[in-house]
Chains A and B, each alone.
Chain A
Amino acid sequence: MENNELEILLIEDNVNDAELTTRALKKNKIANHIIHLHDGAIALDFLFGKGDYEGRNTKNKPKVILLDLKMPKISGLEVLEQLKSNTLTKHIPVVMLTSSKEHPDIEKAYELGANSYIVKPVDFESFRKTVNDLGVYWLMLNQPLL
């Protein structure tokens, strides 16, 4: 995995959602190299090469981070805040995942520097389409900052 270029980092506590997302992304052949992490703390360790990920090459950054807003331990917003305040990670596009577009944290997320957000639709088809659109945009159309 280390050799493969990291394409998407999915930070999601719900394993079902994570599996469905991953599946949707892979099925449409948008991204093959997806890392799923279960909570914010692990995600931060991963990105900053700490804890279990001590010594990981932090230069290997994902092209996009899909970050669930609502997570135990460290919430999505806390993770976002740390990412956007660190020069190492602040240029990584972060797309927030949420169950409802009415979520009060969405606004907060934008303030903290989130690049986009998506509502996880209940309907699987819609979900898959959304995830697909997202992947196309962030992996193929968006030119990351160097």
Chain B
Amino acid sequence: MANKNQITKPSGDTLNITPEHQQMLYTAIVNYSEDAILSTTLDGIVTSWNRGAENIFGFSAAEIIGKNTSIIIPNHLTKQDEEILNKIRSGLAVDHFETERIRKNGETISVSLMVSPIKDADGTIIGASKISRDITKQKNAEAEIKRLNSELDLKVLKRTEELQKAKDELSGALESTSFLAGIAANIQDPVITSDANSLITRWNATAERLLEWKSEEVIGRSTVDVLKVIYNHQSREQILISFAEKGYWQGEVIYHTKSGKPLNVLVTASTMKDATGTTIGNLIIARDITERIDSEKKFKEFEHFFNNSNDLSCIANNDGFFEIINPCFEQALGYSHNELSNYPFIDFVHPDDIAATITEYEKLKAGATVIHFHNRYRAKNGNYLLLDWNATPNPITGKIYCIARDITARKKAEDDLSKLNEELEQKVQERTEQITKSEVQYRHLFDNNPMPMWVIDLKTFKFLDVNKMAIIQYGYSRLEFLSMTAVDIRPIEDREIFINSDHATTTSKDNYKRGIWRHRKKDGTIIQVDINAHEITFEGIPARLILAMDVTEQKEAEEKLISSEMRFRSLIENSAEGIAMTDELSNSLYRSPAANKIMGPITNDKTINLTHPDDIPKLKETHIKVMQNPGVTFPFQGRFMHASGNYIWLEGTFTNLLHIKGVNAIVANYRDITERKKAEEEIRLLNENLEKKVAERTEQLESVNKELESFSYSVSHDLRTPLRAINGYSKILEEDYYNLFDEEGKRLLSTVQQNAAKMGNLIDDLLTFSRLGKKEIVKTKVDMTILIENNIAELNNIDSEKTTITIDKLHTALADSALMNQVWANLLSNAIKYSNKKDHPIIIISSEKTEHEIIYSITDNGAGFDMAYADKLFGVFQRLHGSSEFEGTGVGLALVHRIISKHGGRIWAKGEIDKGATFYFTIPINTSNKNYGKQ
């Protein structure tokens, strides 16, 4: 899956940068910006909020994301913000403009704001990005400068007006003094006359108005009492002396009105003389100079202001020289008054600013009342100060009143600000480029996504856009897609479910849906797809961006897995065998139903705790082997405690599958063999009993056998003695009394002797036969040919004239020589006996060697026998021929059979009546396999 996340850049380079990584990079860039960078939905809901925003607005991202930006917008700007959002909706960006915002603490701040639309991969506008810069300080500085300037302007204007007025008044006052000479002007000023004793004699109307006393109230009274004069510069005495000498005095004093208000007056007093020249009184003209005094006061204040102002103030004359310069001017530039006033003011201007300055200056001459300009002024130390000038001409004198302020620092601040603005501009530009570039990349991601992607109209389900992979995988052309709806790519039976499913525009935080759907390709193939859907706005329409991953194989595999898992589970749960899983510490992890049935409802105890104490060592040993041999199955059998507390026998296997992912357990398969164990125990007991019985029986049999042997021994012995007596005495009769018998007597005696002899043979054979039962055989290499030849030599019933005995080259045998001799003696004797009646008895002896044994055979051409009685040939006392026909005791073949059997060989015979017989017997080759012949 990782390769699907690679981003293919348009250049074709493949970067191992995941979209998540890229997102992190963007996030880092945004977070390191000091500007507030935030994004909102088109409804103004904040969707991102960087650290800059946190610093500037005081809200943390957590506090504000999801809330409306109106929190930081002053009420009076709400409308403005709406307008901005409207612009954004229509795809327009808002270049940075200055506005106000409210911080969390309620403070209003100025910001420079730039708003641009955020588009999704399809170019649909889905929100706004806002970059704000706090310019409050800059704004404050500017406002302060502006305020100070206008204040200054106002002051200058006011002062200029005041100065003008004062000047006018002053000149007016001067003019009115010239009227003093005229009596006619009496009405304008208080005129008071007094007699030589300074008693008031006249008090004109002006005096009544200004000093509030009626003439009748004051006439006759002393001027001093009425006027309550205060002398400013000289004492009354000095004035009186001066007056007495000159007969005239003029000076400023303060009168008081009737109500006590002071009144500044310029007093002109002169002595009135009659024709004789005799002083008859004084004439006092008191001019009200209140206004003038006030003006003077104000002028002084202005002067003070002028001298102490922090602004550079001056008055320049028409010749272009400074006439008056305030101390601040001198200090700021470092020149003395003379240094400044001796040169035309234009000489101090920076050469580059001279032309502009003159141009401004000319404006004044052209009639402008106020000019405002900047220029650089050379200070004495050679530096230039940037001065902000306000100049007003005196319309009368033509002199120019100038106030300048050193704005070097301010200009620098402004320059810095401008530079900052430029940088901000640059950043905004870069950011815009980044966004544009990332948009291209996102478009590229959509188009070249290795998985099918498309955009559908949320209302009509119409395809609005599809990527290449969708076209390749689904088989529809782009045009076909765009004429279809998302319903059309579904199997018919799924369409209703799709239409009825929740397509409402989700308001969830991530606008994200996911699910497995079935889609139908153009060729009819049904595939299962994992759908990732994002709600977006595509070209203004509510839409859904779909990413479809074909998971058909995966789902089928899952289904198979589930089905297979179910099968195995079913197998396990329905198995009659108990299946249990434990961890490496034998803690129970799982127990199949059968296991629970076998063990009963036991608690999940460790295996070892349930094991019968006697079986623990064996189980521990098995457990070690199991742990050391992962994957190898080890059998176990033992007793374990059933839930009932009884021990039950379990038999099964342990397999260490700890290393198998998904199993990680030791698996035990087992079945309850308690019943079997019981049965086995019973069988064992039965066997034990049986063996005991067999042993007893064998003992009994052996005892019986011994008794029998002893019996047959004693019988044969005891029989021999009387038989010997019969033989002996009949012989005596024959020897000593033969002549006394007649023929019949002789025949009877002979019969007695014959039967006695026969009985003797019978007893001898019986003895031999019974001896074999006791005798241990001693095997040696036996040359059968020699045995046979010796026997032939000893045979007394052979008619060597007519009998042909052929002996082939015989194999030697490992056998008991004496017993083999007995065998051949019997077989040869038989062969001769039964063939003796033939004209040409032929006896052939041969041998044949097979893998395991040597087969000896002896064939004769004698009487033969009926094969129907072949099984009776080898029984004791069994005879196929009557004694009258052939002599015999019936013990010979039984004896041979017994000897061959003792050697582990077999014996059998083939014959036909009158056509002879063949007797076969075998001697095993492998002596170690004593039991061979019995098989």
Question: A residues near B, CB below 8 A?
Answer: 14, 16-17, 20, 23, 70, 99-100, 102-103, 120-125, 127
Contacts and interface: CB of A to CB of B under 8 A. Distances in A.
24 contacts: A14-B721, A16-B721, A16-B722, A16-B724, A16-B729, A20-B724, A20-B728, A23-B732, A99-B717, A99-B720, A100-B716, A100-B767, A102-B713, A103-B717, A120-B721, A121-B724, A122-B727, A122-B757, A122-B759, A122-B760, A122-B763, A123-B727, A123-B757, A124-B728
B98 to A, nearest CB: 146
B839 to A, nearest CB: 33
A72 to B, nearest CB: 14
Interface in B707-736: 713, 716-717, 720-725, 727-732
Interface residues of B, number: 23
Main secondary structure of the interface of B (DSSP, over half): helix
A103 B767 CA distance: 11
A102 B767 contact: yes
Nearest to A121: B724
B716 A124 contact: no
B771 interface: yes
B767 A124 contact: no
Contact of A100 (B713, B725, B727): B713
A122 B723 contact: yes
A70 B721 CA distance: 11
Contact of B760 (A23, A70, A102, A123): A123
A80 to B, nearest CB: 19
B764 to A, nearest CB: 8
B716 A120 contact: no
A17 B730 CA distance: 13
Interface-centre pick from A14, A17, A102 (highest chain B CB count, 10 A): A102
B717 A100 contact: yes
Contacts of A122: 720, 723-724, 727, 756-757, 759-760, 763-764
Nearest to B770: A102
B771 A102 contact: yes
Interface in B722-764: 722-725, 727-732, 756-757, 759-760, 763-764
6 residue pairs, one from A and one from B, having the closest CB atoms = A122-B760, A124-B731, A16-B725, A20-B728, A99-B717, A124-B728
A130 to B, nearest CB: 12
A4 to B, nearest CB: 25
A22 B771 CA distance: 31
Contacts of A123: 727, 757, 760
B706 to A, nearest CB: 13
Interface in B677-717: 713, 716-717
Contacts of A103: 717
Contacts of A17: 721, 724-725
Main secondary structure of the interface of A (DSSP, over half): loop
Contact of A120 (B722, B724, B729, B732): B724
Nearest to A98: B717
Contact of A20 (B713, B725, B764): B725
Nearest to A119: B720
Contacts of A124: 724, 727-728, 730-731
B708 to A, nearest CB: 15
Contacts of A102: 713, 767, 771
Interface-centre pick from A70, A120, A121, A122 (highest chain B CB count, 10 A): A122
A99 B713 CA distance: 10
A99 B725 CA distance: 12
Contacts of B763: 122
Nearest to B757: A123
Interface in B168-190: none
Contacts of A125: 731
A109 B146 CA distance: 165
Given A124-B724, A125-B731, A127-B727, 19 more contacts: A16-B721, A16-B724, A16-B725, A20-B724, A99-B717, A100-B713, A100-B716, A100-B720, A102-B713, A102-B767, A102-B771, A120-B720, A120-B724, A122-B720, A122-B723, A122-B727, A122-B763, A123-B757, A124-B731
A17 B722 CA distance: 9
Contacts of B729: 16, 20
Contacts of B725: 16-17, 20
Contacts of B727: 122-124, 127
A127 B726 CA distance: 13
Nearest to A23: B732
Contacts of B728: 16, 20, 124, 127
Contacts of B730: 124
Contacts of B764: 122
Contacts of A14: 721
Interface string B572-599: 0000000000000000000000000000
Nearest to A103: B717
Interface-centre pick from B716, B728, B730, B759 (highest chain A CB count, 10 A): B728
A108 B713 CA distance: 18
Contacts of A121: 724
Nearest to B716: A100
Nearest to B760: A122
A14 B721 CA distance: 8
Contacts of B760: 122-123
Interface-centre pick from A14, A20, A124 (highest chain B CB count, 10 A): A124
A103 B774 CA distance: 13
A70 B717 CA distance: 10
B758 to A, nearest CB: 11
Contact of A99 (B721, B731, B757, B771): B721
Nearest to A120: B724
A24 to B, nearest CB: 9
Interface-centre pick from A17, A99, A103 (highest chain B CB count, 10 A): A99
A100 B721 CA distance: 10
A122 B722 CA distance: 9
A128 to B, nearest CB: 8
Contacts of A99: 717, 720-721
A82 to B, nearest CB: 24
Nearest to B722: A16
Contacts of A120: 720-721, 724
A138 to B, nearest CB: 21
B211 to A, nearest CB: 200
Interface-centre pick from B722, B731, B771 (highest chain A CB count, 10 A): B731
A16 B726 CA distance: 9
A122 B764 CA distance: 10
A17 B717 CA distance: 13
A138 B156 CA distance: 194
B453 to A, nearest CB: 114
A65 B331 CA distance: 186
Contacts of B721: 14, 16-17, 99, 120
A125 B767 CA distance: 21
A18 to B, nearest CB: 11
B417 to A, nearest CB: 147
A110 B764 CA distance: 24
Nearest to A99: B717
A20 B735 CA distance: 13
A121 B760 CA distance: 9
Interface string B143-165: 00000000000000000000000
Contacts of B717: 70, 99-100, 103
B771 A127 contact: no
